[in-house]
Amino acid sequence: MAAKNVTVIPATISQHTRKSTQANTRRKVAGYARVSTDSEEQVTSYTAQVDYYTQYIKGNPEWDFVKVYTDEGISGTNTKKRDGFNEMIADALAGKISLILTKSVSRFARNTVDSLTTIRTLKAHGVEVFFEKENIWTFDSKGELLLTIMSSLAQEESRSISENITWGKRKQFADGKVSLPYKQFLGYRKGANGLPEIVPEEAEIVRLIYRMFIDGKTPCYIAKHLTEKGIPTPGKKKTWQVSTVESILTNEKYKGDARLQKRFTTDYLTKTMKVNEGEVPQYYVENSHPAIIDPTEWEMVQGEFRRRKEANKRTSCQSPFSGKVICGDCGEQFGPKVWHSNSQYRRVIWQCNHKFKGDEKCSTPHLTEDALKDYTIVALSFLLKNREALFEDGRLIRAALTDHTEIDAELQKLTEELEIVAYLIENTIATNAITALDQLEYAKTYESLTERYQGLQKRYTTLTRQKAEKEYKADVLSGFLFEIGELDLLDAEWSDSRFHAIIERITVHNDGRLVFTFRNGSEETVMM
């Protein structure tokens, strides 16, 4: 039998590029550079990377320089927000690039899945990547194995860095160190000691917002007013949003305190943030920095917010009567309506918002805003006839509202119990970690302690809210007594702030009665 004769026929087309192996083709080469922070050292590294790859590619006679794609100050844990990276991949898939040079696997991506998926997509389109630090060419037979290992290490490094940063931030929180997003925060800037310091001109805007709200203006009205006055928003925009005003009115940092870790990162790869609803600890630091708003005034605003929220009704932005005039038939609010809008008889009247919406038409009369103001002054004149009794009753009520002895004692007791139960929970977990316990018994003990802790915490929250409500009512009553004290003689001039401080609501009845309920709980009736 004759010997077999085997002839090798060399490959003529690259399995990766689909181009002839005989042709002396030039490669279209691009570089990729990224730094993840804006520190001076990283900026220097970023500039050096760009310059290095530009010169390196242009210095190879067999390469055609495309460009150096860059991302500055962006994390590498995912590719969704990396514009330079995404542009480079798009150009590569479009045939504009055949080789990509980058410093290392960690510069390319710290997410193993993203890295391998991208490399395989590029490989399928004949585009190779060279990782200089690891000396990995992705067309090499061992390239993908090495890349998988290095990408996994880079991802683990990213996780470790994220955990270290998180630990560092929580340590700062536990130490009471406060930092603000100053570019988006009105009234403060970073001081020389690293803590917030007041910006006087911006602080005046904050105080104006609080004054207007206390005087009865809605966040909607305040937002329109600030926009019309040309006052820039915290983000230096021209138009104020209602949510921005509400955020300023409810942020405890304006009274000099700080609640830390309101939000947290749920995934170090996607950088997903969520509101902290108890998953991780929060830290409340009192007197952490200078206050713009007096704490008493801040608490008064929170109480007013709760009062308006409980009403749960939409109100007009413009009038002091918004949300305060109530229909005696159905209990709904009165709202402004325009009559004869396109004629010389145009006027604005107030009537029940549900007057024609129910099965039966409400029979309460309508009123003009001027009439409401006149009737309010009449009601005040009735109220002032009993001035001395008002002050005496008011002082007694305020003394009761400001006495927190029982609540404070129970809060102190709850605080001590919470600390004990928290210690027991931690000790139970630690013991289970180092000792072979019956897991059913452990779970039963753990759940029992957790339920006890949650019950104590719920009671603590309830008492804290009750105390805040009493303080708010005391502040409201103080404002009421102050305004009454200022009325030695009934002023003829109308005052929005005085109306808000004195009047709780006006109930309009179908027989023409207007029942004025004052902030101290007393009532006066005026006939139309």
DSSP string computed for 261-297: -SEEEEETTTTEEEE-SSSS--EEETT-S--SS-HHH
pLDDT interval class at 163 (50, 70, 90): very low
| pLDDT for residue 438 | 80
Above 80 in pLDDT, residue 506? Answer: yes
* Average pLDDT over the chain, rounded to an integer: 78
Rounded to whole angstroms, how far apart are CA atoms 469 and 310?
A: 13
Numbers of helices and strands, H then E, in the chain: 14, 18
Highest mean pLDDT among 65-74, 109-118, 142-151: 65-74
Terminal CA-to-CA distance of the chain, rounded, Å? 128
Residue 255 clears pLDDT 50, i.e. is over it: yes
The CA distance from 413 to 405, in Å, is 12
| Positions of E strands within 162-282 | 188-190, 196-198, 258-260, 263-267, 272-275
Task: Render pLDDT for 406-447 as a digit per residue (tens, 0 to 9).
Answer: 999 999 999 899 889 888 888 888 887 777 778 888 888 888
The β-bridge partners of 340 are none
- Which pLDDT band, with edges at 50, 70 and 90, does 57 fall under? very high
How much is the pLDDT for 313?
A: 53
Structure tokens at 236: 């230096």
pLDDT digits (tens, 9 = 90+) for 458-482: 898 889 888 888 888 888 888 888 8
**pLDDT given for residue 92 in this prediction:** 94
CATH architecture of 325-527: Orthogonal Bundle (1.10)
Q: Domain 27-162, what fold?
A: Rossmann fold (3.40.50)
For residue 181, the model assigns a pLDDT of: 75
Please report where in the chains the tokens 């009553």 appear, as a residue: 477
pLDDT top residue among 112 and 76: 112
CATH of 182-311, one of 3.40.50.1360, 2.30.30.90, 3.90.1750.20, 2.70.70.10: 3.90.1750.20
Tell me how far apart the alpha carbons of residues 72 and 361 are, in angstroms, rounded to a whole number: 65
Closest CA to 59 of 91, 101, 90: 101
Q: Judging by beta carbons within 10 Å of its beta carbon (0-12, 13-18, 19+), is residue 115 exposed, middle or buried? A: buried
Q: Which helix (H) or strand (E) holds 119?
A: helix 112-124
What does the block give as tokens for 337?
Answer: 């309506």
Each domain of the chain, given as residue ranges in start order, spans 27-162, 182-311, 325-527
> What is the SS3 string spanning 142-161?
CHHHHHHHHHHHHHHHHHHH
The amino acid occupying position 106 is: S
pLDDT over 80 at 123, yes or no:
yes
Residue 165 has what pLDDT? 42
pLDDT of residue 297: 83
pLDDT at 16: 43
pLDDT higher than threshold 90 for residue 507: yes
- Of 74-83, 111-120, 327-336, give the lowest mean pLDDT range: 74-83
- To the nearest whole percent, how much of the chain has pLDDT over 70? 75
pLDDT digits (tens, 9 = 90+) for 35-49: 765 444 445 567 788
**Span 72-99, mean pLDDT?**
77
The burial of 22, by beta-carbon neighbours within 10 Å (0-12 exposed, 13-18 middle, 19 or more buried), is given as: exposed
DSSP 3-state assignment of 503?
A: strand
Which one-letter DSSP state was computed for residue 111? -
Give the pair of three-digit tokens for residue 363: 């029979």
